[in-house]
Amino acid sequence: MTAWQSYASPVGELLLAADEEGLTGLWLAGEKYFPGVPEDAPQETPVLEETKRWLDIYFAGREPDFLPPLHLAGSPFRQEVWALLRQIPYGETTTYRALAEAVARKRGLRQMSAQAVGGAVGHNPISIIVPCHRVVGSDGSLTGYAGGLERKVQLLRLEGVDMSRLYVPKKGTAL
């Protein structure tokens, strides 16, 4: 059974979902893959309580020193990419290219498509906690955030990321 809660954050309403194993989803309301608010009543569970505690610390501008239990459902490739996302330090960024190179090394391949990695990043079901907002283009472009570029900028600023080398592209498919 999936339980859910709504959470009011500085970047807008968040929808949290969890099952018996852990957090299964954290979406920004209106984001590209937002599933919508369930019709059944919100429920309180230990996983959702712990997630809200993590979010309280995070939105207070501090790095939480724990993770709520996560239950990410996805293909082995997506799981691999999402595991790499969890390794990006608070307040830092990486690129789609760097993630693709890491996947290629792990798999013993010469190269891996940054676009394929971008697809996995974009379908991350647990925004913020699995920090897909910390991934930027190799040229410093802030592209590819399902929650919208304005929210991506807000999250990076909250973490104290040096924004001087980053920019919002004038046109592109992820705007």
**Catalytic annotation, pick one of 11, 132, 136, 155:** 132
- As a whole number of angstroms, the distance between CA 125 and CA 73 comes to 8
- Contact (Cβ atoms closer than 8 angstroms) between residue 19 and residue 1: yes
132 is an active site residue: yes
Q: 134-172 in b/e burial notation, b at 16+ Cβ within 10 A?
A: bbbbeeebbbbbbbbbebbbbbbebbebeeeebeeeeee
Catalytically active residues are 132
